[in-house]
């Protein structure tokens, strides 16, 4: 769903999408490294090899890139979460799968996650960001639903389920700051260890 009119002819369309993707990735990387505001269109130009003006073929604005980054992060994650929660596996399994998918997704979207965390003030304040906020909320609800069912069937134990949810969100959202592919522990192992904090 790019914003700067993509071509309609399929052949061109493919190349267009590919380049837009490259732009978004470059943006995610730079935004993560130096911050959204501190990254100039000139920086993006240098990183992509496109002249400054050319960037606007693939995005309608700098902020549009930021939204695209968040969408790329949230959309597949939300989809996976829904798929997992739709299974008729027991809640304990739901949680484990969810955490695994989540951490794997983060591991492959570290810059996206860093940007998403950094730009909280933008996401929170502007009306334009409502869709993003809603996706985030939806994901958290799915997660909470899993915890609730786990609590109900006794497979998980919480002193306070609300605090458990917030703890989980905190620890996972913090992961992009240290998690690296090929690190000492795989994303799945980490997921399991953390899952065990709440599963009997």
Partner DNA sequence: TATGAATGAGCCTTCATTCAT
Partner DNA sequence: CATGAATGAAGGCTCATTCAT
Interacting residue ranges for a second copy, rule: CB under 8 A: 32-35, 37-38, 114, 117-122, 125, 159-160, 162-163, 166-175, 177-178, 184-185, 190, 193-194, 196-197
Smallest distance from DNA to CB 15, Å? 6
157 binds, among a second copy, DNA, none (CB under 5 to 8 A by kind): none
Tell me the CA end-to-end span of the chain in Å, nearest whole number: 43
Q: Which class for 168: exposed (0-12), middle (13-18), buried (19 or more C-beta within 10 A)?
A: buried
CA–CA separation, 94 and 81 (whole Å): 9
Could you give the 3-state DSSP secondary structure of residue 186? coil
Nearer to a second copy, 108 or 177 (CB): 177
129 binds, among a second copy, DNA, none (CB under 5 to 8 A by kind): none
- 52 lines the binding site for DNA (CB under 7 A): yes
- 51 lines the binding site for DNA (CB under 7 A): yes
Output the CA–CA distances (angstroms, integers) from residue 75 to 60, 68, 133, in the order listed.
Answer: 20, 10, 12
CA–CA separation, 111 and 27 (whole Å): 9
From 14-22, 87-95, 137-145, 166-174, give the range in contact with DNA by CB under 7 A.
14-22
Smallest distance from a second copy to CB 87, Å? 26
Q: Which class for 18: exposed (0-12), middle (13-18), buried (19 or more C-beta within 10 A)?
A: exposed
Looking only at residues 112 through 131 of this chain, which bind DNA when binding is defined by CB under 7 A? none
Determine which residue in the list 39, 73, 115, 139 makes contact with DNA, applying CB under 7 A: 39
Q: What is the largest CA-CA distance in the chain?
A: 59
Smallest distance from a second copy to CB 183, Å? 10
Express the helix, strand and coil content of the chain in percent, nearest 5 each. Answer: 75, 0, 25
- 10 lines the binding site for DNA (CB under 7 A): no
- 35 lines the binding site for DNA (CB under 7 A): no
Q: Catalog residues that contact DNA under the rule CB under 7 A.
A: 6-9, 12, 15-16, 19, 37-42, 49-57, 60-63
């Amino acid at each position: 769903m790019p914003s700067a009119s993509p071509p309609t002819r399929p052949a061109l369309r493919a190349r267009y999408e590919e380049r837009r993707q490259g732009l978004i990735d470059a943006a995610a990387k730079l935004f993560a490294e130096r911050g959204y505001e501190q990254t100039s269109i000139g920086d993006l130009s240098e990183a992509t090899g496109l002249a400054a003006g050319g960037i606007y073929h693939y995005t309608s604005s700098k902020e549009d890139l930021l939204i695209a980054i968040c969408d790329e992060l949230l959309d597949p994650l939300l989809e996976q979460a829904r798929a997992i929660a739709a299974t008729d596996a027991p809640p304990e399994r739901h949680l484990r799968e969810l955490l695994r998918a989540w951490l794997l997704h983060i591991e492959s979207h570290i810059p996206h996650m860093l940007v998403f965390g950094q730009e909280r003030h933008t996401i929170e304040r502007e009306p334009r960001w409502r869709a993003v906020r809603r996706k985030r909320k939806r994901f958290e609800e799915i997660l909470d639903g899993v915890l609730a069912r786990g609590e109900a069937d006794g497979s998980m134990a919480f002193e306070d389920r609300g605090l458990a949810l917030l703890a989980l969100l905190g620890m996972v959202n913090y992961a992009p700051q240290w998690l690296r592919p090929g690190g000492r522990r795989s994303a799945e192992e980490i997921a399991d260890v953390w899952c065990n904090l709440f599963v009997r």
